Structure 1
């Protein structure tokens, strides 16, 4: 039972893209709630929520791909 190195590298790339999004998303949401007097409040909030959802999706995809590479479906 060997590890599929191509799939493992692909999963690490997914997780590497998810890592900065995990920090950017909540900071955008926090910034949107702090600047409620600004007209761009809802746009920044929507972008922050979208970035957080993207981070969770990329983490799920990366872990799923990693499990597939380790345990060879």
Structure 2
């Protein structure tokens, strides 16, 4: 969940930086990187929430 939180802030910040510098040569790679970080944040959040929910509601079978 901590890495998801970092990615939730880092992705949009990088996206803002890339959109504000569209005339630079690193516009496209930075935009792709920021989109990947945003997708990674969503993935890590789902994995973290699934882990928390499984630990709370897991029923051990005998």
CA–CA distance in 1 between the matches of 2:28 and 2:17? 11
How much is the aligned-residue C-alpha RMSD, in angstroms? 0.7
What is the 5 A alignment of 1:27-66?
27-66=13-52
TM-score (normalizing by structure 1): 0.78
Cα deviation, residue 49, structure 1: 0.3
Deviations 1:51-71 (A, max 9, x none): 000000000000011100000
Tell which has more relative contact order, 1 or 2 (C-alpha 8 A, sep 6+).
Answer: 1
Q: Which runs of structure 1 show a deviation greater than 2 angstroms over 4 or more consecutive aligned residues?
A: none
Please, what TM-score do these two structures have when normalized by structure 2?
0.91
Residue 19 of structure 1: aligned partner? 5
